[in-house]
Every structure is written in C-alpha cells, then in structure tokens.
Structure 1
Amino acid sequence: MTADVWLPIPPKDVEGLPDGLTYRFWDGGETFPADPADCSFYVVPYMKPSGVGVRPLARMTSVQVVQTLSAGIDHVEPGLGHLPPGVRLCNARGVHEASTAELTLTLILASLRGIADFVRAQDRGEWLSGFRPALADKNVLIVGYGSIGEAIEDRLTPFELARVARVARSGRTTARGPVQPLTDLPALLPDADVVILSTPLTETTRGLVDAEFLARMKDGALLVNVARGPVVDSKALLTELESGRITAALDVTDPEPLPSGHPLWQAPGLLISPHVGGPTSAFLPRAKRLLVDQLHRFVNQEPLRNVILTTGAKGA
C-alpha cells in the first residue's frame, strides 16, 4: 500500500509507525503539506480553532479514514458532507479518559471544599476557615456513561459515596449497576447532590441542561460539565447561579472561549477551567499508541477501532 497519511504530530516523534506509507506533518497551518487529494488517512489537528480541522476535507477525494484525537466529533461534523462515501470517522476513545476523569474529580473537590475561595484568601493573606461540604455520602449522577463516564466512576469509587446513578442515551446493565436512559433524567435529578455531564454533543444533548433540567436539581447541588459547552443553556445556568440555589464547575462553556466580560466570569458559585480536560502529559503517549495501532490496522486491512460512522451509510 502506498498512501499519504497526514499527522498532527511529527512522524519522527512517533515510534512504531508502519512502513509503506508516506507521512506528512500538518498541524493546522495555512499551507498544506501535500495535495489533499492524495491523502488516504487524515488525523485531524488537535485543540485548534473552529474550522481548522475541516478545511482540507473538501479536497480529500481519496481519503478513507478521518481520525480525531478528541473524544467528541462535533468539530469535524460540518465537513463530513464533503467526503466521498465509505470514509470511516474514528474518535479517540481510550486517549482522554484518564485526564478528563482526573479533572472531573478536581473540579468536584475544589468546588465542594471551596479551594477557589482559599486561593483568593491566600492572595489577601487571610486565614479563611469554616465548614465545607465533603464528597463522602453524596449522591452522584453521571449523565453520559461512555468510556469517560466509566473512568469518572472508577475515580469516584474510593470516596464513600452514598450512591452513583448512571444515564446514557439508552439503558443497559453493567457490572457496577444499571445505566438508565435519558428519559429517566427528570426522576433522577432531584436526588443528585452532584450532576456530572460527560455526554457527547448531539442534537439530542444540545441544550439538554435547560431551565427545566436545572429547576429539577436539588437546592445546593453542584453541576459539573466536562462534556461540551452547548450541552448547557448558559443563560438558564446563569439565572440559577445568580439565585444562589445551585453551584457549578465548567471545563467547557458556550460560547467558547468564554469572552472577557461575559457574565459567567462573575457568576457566584461558579468555577471555570479553560477546556483542559484532555491536554495533559497523559495525552501524547495515548494518542501515539492509538495512531500506531490504527495505522497498522489500516495497512493490514484489519477492522479499525472507534469507528463512529461511515459516510454514505444509512443514518450517517
């Protein structure tokens, strides 16, 4: 097989790439490394502004695989209509679970224990003592129970929780217990002390956390969003935060990046991190392992991992 592969990581930095392929380095720059029409396997640049990763897709007439380095695929969906039929779109399942789950626990603990307040008090030289909520004995609801949701529960397990409820698009049974369908959310929300959003952004989940969703959350509950910003209605969340009824921690926002002067920056009871769930020291080793494995499968004509959809297929 002779084919161009576009990588957003310099090929010399990735050990174990299979022979027989021509590797091109492109990390979203203005100039393409070669003719996009010759690309067979395209790895989308990671953490680039909206529109960068889809720019070459219309010219990739020979592409067979589009591989993201993110768990979500919403940033490439606008360009899928330009692709020929039969192109497999794969996500980065297995790359971000550890980092995103770590950040989720960080946001929960920092919010409950008031770490942001302590940091501000330290800047003032003030000893800010007081009583704070613990994670122990809390009811936690995970909305979006894919591989990241599972990794989050892995890390919640030692914290002596009262209960973990799990919700996904459709119900199923796992070794840890039932996963309930999205239709059960209204009944589950009033009991949850912490609601974690780790769902992909789809037409079903866009605006899922609206005024009605938030109104069903119990007084004093914490909302944590490590999914995508548009899963949450920012205006509805702001209303609840300003009332002081609930608190929140957001790694993602709508809009994103959150512009200076946006009212969310000053909202009471809100902790914001700038979409840093994935980009940590854990990213590159896992991303490289995924790419090496996928490219060996591609060369050997073996089934690829993490195929989300195939263009031109029914329902794609």
Structure 2
Amino acid sequence: MTTMAIDKKVLNVPHLRFPEFTERWDTYRIADILCIGNGRDYKHLSKGDIPVFGTGGYMTSVNECLYEGETTFIGRKGTINKPFYYNGKFWTVDTLFYTHSFKRVIPKFVYCLFQTINWLRYNEASGVPSLSKDTIEKIKVRIPQLDEQKKIAKLLSLLDERIATQNKIIEKLQSLIKGIAQNIVHRNKPNVRISQCLECSSSTLQESDVLECGAYPVYGANGVVGFLDNYNTSNEAIYIIKDGSGVGAVSYVAGKCSATGTLNILQAKKGFSLRYLYYLLNIFNFEPYKTGMAIPHIYFKDYGKAQIFCPSYSEQLKYAKFLATIDDKLLTEQNVLINLSLLKQYLLRQMFI
C-alpha cells in the first residue's frame, strides 16, 4: 500500500491505498448504491433455524426469513452506531435496518464503509438514539471502483477474522482461569469466613477529584479514570464494585494507586494470599448479598460472613502463582487484541474518505 501525499479533499482519494489504484473515488448518496430494508415483528412465526437479529445481535430463531443474502445491519433505535455484517437467511426486528439490492458496491465493502460513518451525528431523538430510513439514504459517501472495493474488503475481512480468533483465545484463557478456580471451590469444603481472610476499607474519593495527569493511577468502576499525586493504596489490593450495575466485580491491583468511592478496598490479613483470594472472589456468587431495588449494593458486613475454602498459606501461594501465570498470558493476549483493534481503526480512517 502507498501513502498519498496529496490533499484528499481535492482529488477525492484516501490517504492510504493499494499502489495499483489511482482513480478518483466517486460521491453518491447511500440511496444510490443500496436499499434500506425495515425489520418486522416475528412473534407470529414458529420456532426454526433462521436467526432473528436486533440491535444487540442474535435474539432467537424462527421458521421464515425476511431476506437471504449478504447484508449490513444498522440500528434504527437504541444502538445505532454498531453496524454488523451477516450472510445467509435472517429476520430482523423493527429496531434494526438491513441493506440489500446493492449497486456499484459489494456488500462487504458496505460493511467496512458503514464502520467509518459517525452514526450518532445523524441521531434524530433527544432520548433513545434513533435513525430514520430517509436520513440514512441521504448520507453522502465516497466509493472507489469495484476492484479496489474488493481488495479493501478482503484486507479488512482478514483483519476481522484475526480479531475474532484473538477473542476466542482470550475467552478460552478466561474460561480456564474460571474453571480452575471453580474446581478448587467444588472439590473442597469451605473452612473460613471471608471476613477472617480480608479487611475492608472504603474511599471518599470522587471521580471529580481526579486529574488527567499525575504520578499514580485512580481506579473507578470501569478501570482507570484519572491520576493523582497521592494514593490511598500502597501495596496490593482487591478493588470491588460496591454499588451500581457492575456490583461485585473485582480487580487485582499492585503498587501505589487509588480507588474512587464506588469501590471498596480489600486487603489480606496475615496468613492469607491476596492473589489467591482474588481468584476465589472472581467466581464468588454475590447475588444473595445484593440489596436495593433501583441501584444494587453489597456490604462487606454481609458477604464477609460467607465461607470459602482456604488451604495452607503455602498451598494458597501455589494456586495463586499458577493462576497468575495464566493471567499474565491473558493480559498479553488482551494487549494483542487492543493492537489489532487499533490497527483496524487506523486502516478505516486512512483507507476511506
């Protein structure tokens, strides 16, 4: 591929393209290159083997199809900014559009093209995001000749396949860690209360207090939310979400850092391995200990009474070391996935106008 040192707004060519192609890209409305199909209710249909899709993906299977062939789905209501590709028989609900009757474009290229569009820009609702067929059809896009479309689509399809493979690798490692931890639990009788193993402290730090730059990371419910020049955790700890939709989710941290008020800080008492306890809490069922209707909460005073299995300290360390080895491999594979995703985003930005 070559990088074009030319103003793409003048010549209608992308910054990055295969060297054998030099023609200008042409501008069309989406209505000029394909048709937008509407989804319909499926409740009158019987069970079958034809998938029904909504904005969140697969929903169920029925005995009739709305369309058969290659398509790119785009949300009409709800999730409107995550197009996805499918090839085969399918049915869609009325919150999901599908594409068909392609002219001047191949379906796989349309999928790539749709990933470059800022769909939220065309949102027509103040509440739940919404798109209309008319709005989509009026969007102007630039496309190359079919031969170039095919090469672009093939390259990005290969990258999608590699990303899918990477996701499977990650899922298998996550399942392995979970399976080993569950095996430890199921094969041994609980012998100690959580409160005998761990100490719990809370934080008053709010996300509004954190900075964009600082010496030490600050963790919230969704990971790192900023930085500070001081810290409330000086060594290893388990951060556990104590309220909200992710209540009960745990993460292991090591080194100087801080937790916001939505997290509790758990630290091991003498004679217990924090890393071992982290793996057990990762599979612990917090459901019986949740309180609150609108916003669920968990309290250490409640789940701390639950019993778990803790072998001798030396055995805890062995389990923790073994699981940490797999965890390190998992982190490596997750970083590979991040880099693949960044590569795809780069290509989508550079190979399209």
Same-fold call, TM cutoff 0.5? no
- Normalised TM-score (structure 1): 0.24
- Normalised TM-score (structure 2): 0.22
